[in-house]
Structure 1
Amino acid sequence: MHSIELMRMSIGMACAVALLLAGCSAHHEAPGPRITATPDGVSIAIPVDVVVEGLAAGDAVRVWARTYDRRGQAWESSGEFVTDGVGQVDLSTAASTGGTYTGVDPHGLFWSMRLADDQPVPYPMMDADDVVVRLGVDTGGVTVASTTLRRVVRDPAGQVLPVAEAGLVGDLYLPPGSGVWPGVLLLGGGEGGRPDPAYASLLAAQGYVVFGLAYFGLPGLPDSLARIPVEYGLSAARWLADRPEVSGDRVGVVGTAKGAEYGLLLASSEPSRFAAVVAHAPSDVVWPAPGSTAGTPVSSWTRADDDVPFLRWVSSRGASSAAAGQAVQSAESYEQAVEAASRWRLAAARVHVEQITGPVLFTSGQADGVWPSAPQAQRALSSIEAGGNPYGARLLEFPGAGHLVGGVPDLPTTRTAIPYGPAVVEAGGDPAATAAAVRETFAATVELLRTAMPRGRVQ
């Protein structure tokens, strides 16, 4: 028995030593290359950390990203890096020396995604539900690790209800859960149709009932942005405030470009209806209907069936180049129109923003190629300050940014030519500067709405 017990003890010790050695060996074994992106499956407004690990120190690597739009077209980006002393690349601190962006930018892989030159850009650019991105790392031209990242735009628990009643056309975006929430009227720009569903969905996910109002370019609505009644937008605001899901009798309005012009006109026409105003790339004056300069120009808007006074253009905004399919910058024509106008004409066409009784946020890019939104926003801000709005106004002006400073953050900003009716207009701006502006304007928009609007109540 004694010898048998000794034998068992020897075998047990041998096994323990073997396990210990195996464990130590596994502990010292170098892990394989890997790339991680966190957090996964959360709002696209939340920043992402992308880290490459498990490589040799000083390795030259290429980190890439790829996603697809709703047409199935591939958008791709990349950055070139050198791993640090422990074989890592942290995109929040590491500088890209090549690829589609350079320098330190944790958002670089997302905004710098590019589409092949011969492929059209869809509108909206990405699916409204989520954006699925494939990320990978290459060494020596070979992909050694990859992962998938899902960035949520529309909360899956939210709802989207088509609206075609009371003479209104659009979509109602509801936050997750049941209860009452602040209401926001969302107005798109000169592209017409429904406002960007991705932007509407993302705002709704922040806790707002968003009414994406179409005001031309759909069945039952005018074909073009000409003589749109102010009463149409005001009735949409009242309809939204009367919804059982909406708290309070005042709503917010968020508009982009011509939608910002429309939103400012609405809020100054019926100030008691609007609790907050956000105007991306706005105008302080009313401009004529796009394309109406060939004959007798008409206003973009009407009040009581009469044209709202507008400022005439000096030129035809590069119509010949646009007809040839070339993107044109039209901002100079707007600037010339303001410079050539008499003080009386400017006063007649001015939007009376000083009548707005809620807080206002203006956002603009100094390199706007569509129209001079920066000086237009500055003039509107000055009018509000002179008028003594008790809630005040704020202007976020971005050097180097183009026309598209409002919307969903971290979507590609590399395509700056946008369809605008029959023309293709150059939005202008540096893609990196525009992307940074969008991130800041989205955060500022949500901050303003949360400060100004009554809190929602979940039931």
Structure 2
Amino acid sequence: MIGLTVSPEVALADESVKIQAWGLPPQELITLRAWLKDEKGQIFQSRAFYKTDDDGKVDLEHTPATGGDFHGVHPMGLFWTLKPVTPFLRLLKRDVKGSPFYVHLELYHQIEITSSPKEPPIISKIVERWYTSPHVQRVQIREGRIRGVLFLPPGEGPFPGVIDMFGGVGGVLEFRSGLLASRGFASLALAYFAYEDLPSFLGAMDLKYFEEAAQFLCNHPKVSGEGVGVLAICKGAEMGLAMATYLPQVAATVCINGTNAVNGNTLSYGDLFIPGIPYQTERLLFTDRGTLNISRTMDDPRKPEHQDSIYPVERARGPILFLVGEDDQNYDSLFFAKQALARARKYRKKDVYLKSYPKVGHLLEPPGSPFCPVSQSPFFPLPLTWGGELLPHCRAQEHSWKVIQDFLRKNIPCSRRNKL
């Protein structure tokens, strides 16, 4: 009897799974295929080839893939390499509370050369990948100007509060906040443009909006009011660094692949006005794949004419952690992070840290997320290049997710914590 097991079959999306097959002929070549359909009906799929051992077994924790979308022993390789049938799509979970991603795992006796086999699999399993645990509460937020979605862990709290922001895609993305709440954080997925009645495009930024969000989260009865954390990527990381620098409510900040200065859009905060460093659009690079590389469009903030745009990170109340992909092809994020770190040291602020990952691109996401080196953006005519290499990038996603949680738990003041 041929068997295929996946453990656990129902899990959070940031958890690893164990995949085993048995009852097969010894030393036989087989194909394991994974696929899912996203909420827009788009198919993402992956496959890898394996050779059974003398007992007719395959265990992805020990058996190396001999080919397909990856080589070697990588238990989560089939999840890491899920790629769209339609080019340049990014796998994003929109409805994080209502349904999981259903990942179909299929076993075939032979090496399947075609990505969509005509014959049915010998055996298959369906794995549920959820972005919130069952008792996490999802609350739509429309308080004053604030727009977003708050995720609350089960229990009375108080929980460490985190404001979670993304970049140039706009709107509100909830998947990371859902996972954070499942790990014990009260996480506010904050929108700041292209959502409901917020501006449709990213224009002049008012830091008062973000201060309102930070104060709202501090005041929530299930959140410790002693300060909140910020976790942000890309343009969101730029705004997160502004929050860290100027807002007293911000106790700890994680900036993923961001900058150290205001770019493009102006930033105001009461009487404070910070000009944005103009984008150098003439530096856009068109790649051989028909995609855009925009990493050179941001000017050097060290130039004399840009000094007023640099964030004085030494003013930040709490610690700041820069997480950087060294092969980021959207921002020169390692350069910007080093500049911020140098400024902090110059002014004797000792709690600014930099963790960089070689061969890692821009989209550093929770573990289990497929590697996405390029995808379409709603605000560019061509797909954007994000950079990175498959295995280093996916390993960095696993490592950085733990680093993020440890940093936020350690540095967000919270008088009492529930056991996680």
TM-score, normalised with respect to structure 2: 0.90
Determine whether 1:181 maps to 2:159: yes
Aligned to 1:149: 127
Contact 2:372 2:386 in 1 (8 A): no
1:443 is matched with which residue?
402
Q: Is the CA contact (8 Å cut-off) linking 1:69 and 1:127 kept in structure 2? A: no
Shift of residue 244, structure 1, vs aligned partner? 1.0
Any unmatched runs of 5+ in structure 1?
Answer: 1-31, 290-298
Instruction: Give distance in 2, aligned partners of 1:206 and 1:39.
Output: 18
Match for residue 345 of structure 2? Answer: 385
- Asked if residue 419 in structure 1 is aligned to residue 377 in structure 2, the reply is yes
Q: Which has the larger radius of gyration?
A: 1
Paired residues for 1:24-423 under 5 Å: 32-117=1-86, 121=89, 124-125=92-93, 127-129=95-97, 130-140=100-110, 143-194=121-172, 196-270=173-247, 272-289=248-265, 299=266, 301-304=267-270, 307-318=273-284, 326-334=290-298, 337-338=299-300, 343-390=303-350, 392-405=351-364, 407-414=365-372, 416-419=374-377, 421-423=379-381
CA distance in 2, matches of 1:147, 1:231: 49
How far residue 314 of structure 1 moved from its aligned partner, in angstroms, is 3.3
Deviates more, 1:235-244 or 1:214-223: 214-223
- CA drift at 1:306: 6.1
Q: Give the CA RMSD over aligned residues.
A: 2.3
User: CA separation in 1, counterparts of 2:375 and 2:233?
Assistant: 16
> What are the Cα deviations for residues 153-202 of structure 1, in whole angstroms up to 9, with x where unaligned?
111211111111221111111112333211111111111111x2111100
- Looking at structure 2, the residues matched to 200 and 269 of structure 1 have their Cα atoms a distance apart, in angstroms, of 24
Give the 3 Å change call, closer, same or farther, for CA 333–122 of structure 1 in structure 2. Answer: closer
Kindly state the Cα deviation for residue 305 of structure 1 after the two structures are TM-superposed: 6.8
Question: What number of residue pairs does the alignment pair up?
Answer: 405
Specify the alignment match of 1:432 in structure 2. Answer: 391
For residue 359 of structure 1, what is the amino acid of its counterpart? P
Structure 1 residue 418, shift from structure 2 partner: 3.6
2:274–2:308: 8 Å Cα contact kept in structure 1? no
CA distance in 2, matches of 1:356, 1:369: 28
CA distance in 1: counterparts of 2:410 and 2:390, whole angstroms: 30
CA distance 1:432–1:125, shift in 2 (3 Å): farther
Cα drift, residue 236 of structure 1? 0.8
Change (3 A) 1:414 1:101: farther
Look up the SS of the partner of 2:307 in the other structure. helix
Q: CA deviation at 1:342?
A: 5.8
Report the AA paired with residue 314 of structure 1: Q
Shift of 1:281: 0.6
Stretches of 4+ aligned residues off by more than 4 angstroms: none
Q: Secondary structure at the match of 2:377?
A: strand
The offset of 1:343, in angstroms, is: 3.8
Contact 1:242 1:249 (8 Å CA) reproduced:
no
Q: Which residue of 2 aligns with 1:12?
A: none
Write the distance in 1 (CA, Å) between the matches of 2:378 and 2:235. 11
The structural deviation recorded for 1:216 is 0.9
Q: Residue 205 of structure 1: CA displacement?
A: 0.8
CA offset digits 1:344-371 (Å, max 9, x no partner): 2343221111222322221111111111
Q: Where in structure 2 are there 5+ consecutive unaligned residues?
A: 113-118
The answer as to whether partners of 1:400 and 1:430 remain within 8 angstroms in 2 is: yes
Alpha carbons of structure 1 residues 183 and 98: separation in structure 2 relative to 1, 3 Å: same
User: Cα distance, 1:383 vs. partner?
Assistant: 2.4
Structure 1, 85-94 or 134-143: larger mean CA deviation: 134-143
Deviation at 1:317, TM superposition (A): 4.9
**Is residue 2:417 matched to residue 1:456?**
yes
The alpha-carbon deviation at position 411 of structure 1 amounts to: 1.9
Task: Please state how far the C-alpha of 1:433 moved relative to its aligned partner.
Answer: 2.7
CA distance in 2, matches of 1:404, 1:159: 27
2:318 and 2:336 mapped to 1: Cα distance? 19
1:99 shift after superposition: 1.2
Cα deviation for residue 387 of structure 1 reads 3.2
Higher share in helix: 1
TM-score by length of 1: 0.82
For 1:172 and 1:366, locate their aligned partners in 2 and report how far apart those are by CA, in whole Å: 32
Alignment partners' CA distance in 2, 1:178 and 1:317: 52
Partner residue, 1:14: none
Q: Are 1:71 and 1:122, in contact at CA under 8 Å, matched by a contact in 2? A: no
Contact kept in structure 1, 2:163 and 2:187, CA below 8 Å: yes
Inter-CA distance 42–314: structure 2 relative to 1 (3 Å threshold) = closer
Counterparts of 2:189 and 2:231, CA distance in 1: 10
Q: Tell me if the contact between 1:111 and 1:414 (Cα under 8 Å) persists in the aligned partners.
A: no
